[in-house]
Amino acid sequence: MIKGKGNVKGERAILHSDLNSFYASVEIMLNPALRNKAVAVCGSTEDRHGIVLAKSGPAKQAGIKTGMVNWEAKQRCPDLLMLPPQYEQYLKYSKLAREIYQRFTDQVEPYGMDECWLDVTASQSIYGDAISIAGQIRSMVREELGLTVSIGVSYNKIFAKLGSDMKKPDAITVIGRNEYKEKIWPLPVADLFYVGGATEKKLCRYGISTIGALANTPRDSLRSLLGKNGEMLWVFANGMDQSRVMQYDFHSPVKSIGHGTTCTADLKNNDEVWKIMLYLTQDIGHRLRLHEMMAGGVQITAKDNSLASRQYQLRLPTATQSPMELAVAARSLFEKHYAWHAFVRAITVCAINLEPLCIPRQLTLFDNAARRAKLQRLDDTVEKVRGRFGKRSIRPALLLGKLKTPGDSCHEVIMPGTMHG
């Protein structure tokens, strides 16, 4: 199915390809007996990752939603088949889909495992116009991978992504410069890229409930209300986004390094939280070394057992790679701000304000350089031991006891979280 008109000649031709119900579709493709059944890929109930990650068409029709907890999904649809995720398969088919995209252009920018932007402006002289290219991709993905895609075609990345969301599954939607007001402006403001829940609530308080209302709000007013993010959203809503699609081998500069976990049981006091933070920063310190970066700040996110999240951050007096220093800073943040209104379900620690390791740093009068050098040698030795014998070969004694962490990390997948350009 193809909706919409073609783009004006001479304009950029941007596609956004979204693999439909990706996890569930891969499971059904691998096991055809699941076809036409209510299927949901779910996190582990035992490890408290018990939410729906993806659902099939029949499951959606039964009222199953992504993010719904497992017990509620089963209650709503007793015949629901709940499958554990097979991330290695999802990564495999994500890569195969991108290889299809790269037959048409080298400007393929991933956004998660199941979504990609493509700039096919220069490809049209070889493969036909943007709609024709989208049709070829759609056919190839179906025939070669047994999956379906929805593709948005437009002159910028924002509208291309909106287009891929407008008609699913297995569809192509075109949003041209002369028709975006008709197609885009009536949509809820929450449909616009980068409008999260908090931003939506703030905009709605000012009577801005549609993308058109946002587009017609004075630019300066939005900047006053939301800062530079408000001005960016105004640009998006008015079809003025000029961000480019990055090449498939582009690696964005690392801006933060984080690690989080949903605990197998609620954390009930500061000591239990401290153990989890120390556990998380072991990985963060290792990854800082891999990227040859130092953390200039720490950010934590605490999710309580009602699923409400709170986030806090601080700037460190001296940039560091030390897992212990990061954990100590995270602990101080938590104990200063968290009022224990509820037990803690999940914790994330993030190293922020990253700086290259090679940058010279000014020591402060209160910094003990000798002690810092000693701790650095200790961390270097620990890193060497782990590199030779595995990451569990040496760790703080505090982590030798039973932690409220999942037994494995198969559910942890690092996903792109920003649009480049």
**pLDDT tens, position by position, for the chain (421 residues)?**
444 554 445 689 999 999 999 999 999 999 999 999 999 999 876 555 578 889 999 999 999 998 888 889 999 999 999 999 999 999 999 999 999 999 999 999 999 899 999 999 999 999 999 999 999 999 999 999 999 999 999 999 999 999 999 998 999 999 999 999 999 999 999 999 999 888 999 999 999 999 999 999 999 999 999 999 999 999 999 999 999 999 888 776 778 899 998 888 889 999 999 999 999 999 999 889 888 899 999 999 999 888 788 899 999 988 999 999 999 999 999 999 999 999 998 899 999 999 888 776 666 666 676 777 788 788 888 888 877 777 777 878 888 777 887 754 433 434 444 676 6
Same structural domain, 168 and 215: no
Indicate the SS3 state at residue 167. coil
> If you count DSSP H runs as helices and E runs as strands, how many of each does the chain have, helices first?
15, 13
Name the DSSP letter for residue 399. G
Same domain, 216 and 135: no
pLDDT at 1: 45
* 6 and 142 belong to one structural domain: yes
Residues 158 and 202 both lie in one domain: no
Rounded to the nearest 5°, which phi and psi values hold at 264? -75, -15
CA distances from 284 to 63, 278, 381 (A): 39, 10, 16
Assess contact for 78 and 97: CB atoms under 8 A.
no
Supply the pLDDT for residue 385.
Answer: 82
Read off the CATH number of the domain in which 354 is found: 3.30.1490.100
Pairing of strands 309-320, 293-304: antiparallel
In a domain, 340, yes or no: yes
Asked, for residue 79, whether it belongs to a domain, the answer is yes
Q: In terms of domains, do 139 and 197 share one?
A: no
247 belongs to a structural domain: no
Active site amino acids:
115
- The per-residue pLDDT for 370 is 75
**Two structure tokens written together for 28:** 């059904």
Task: Output the CA–CA distances (angstroms, integers) from residue 24 to 16, 229, 412, in the order listed.
Answer: 20, 34, 18
Report the CATH number at residue 77: 3.30.70.270
Q: How many domains, in total, are found in the chain?
A: 3
Structural domain includes residue 12: yes
| 65/103 same-domain check | yes
Q: Are residues 1 and 148 in the same domain?
A: yes
Residue 23 lies in a domain: yes
Residue 98 near residue 108, CB atoms below 8 Å: yes
C-alpha separations of 108 from 69, 120, 151, 253 in Å: 34, 9, 14, 17
Q: In terms of domains, do 348 and 376 share one?
A: yes
Indicate whether 174 and 192 sit together in one domain: no
Please report, for residues 200, 275, 279, 288, 407, the alpha-carbon distance to residue 396 in angstroms, rounded to integers and kept in the order given.
Answer: 43, 10, 9, 19, 18
Neighbours of 268 (CB within 10 A): 12
Tokens of 296: 């200039």
Residue range(s) defining the domain that contains residue 194: 185-237
Would you say residue 200 lies in a domain? yes
- How high is the pLDDT of residue 348? 94
Read off the CATH number of the domain in which 190 is found: 1.10.150.20
- 335 and 294 both lie in a single domain: yes
Answer yes or no: do 222 and 272 share one domain.
no
375 and 310 share one domain? yes
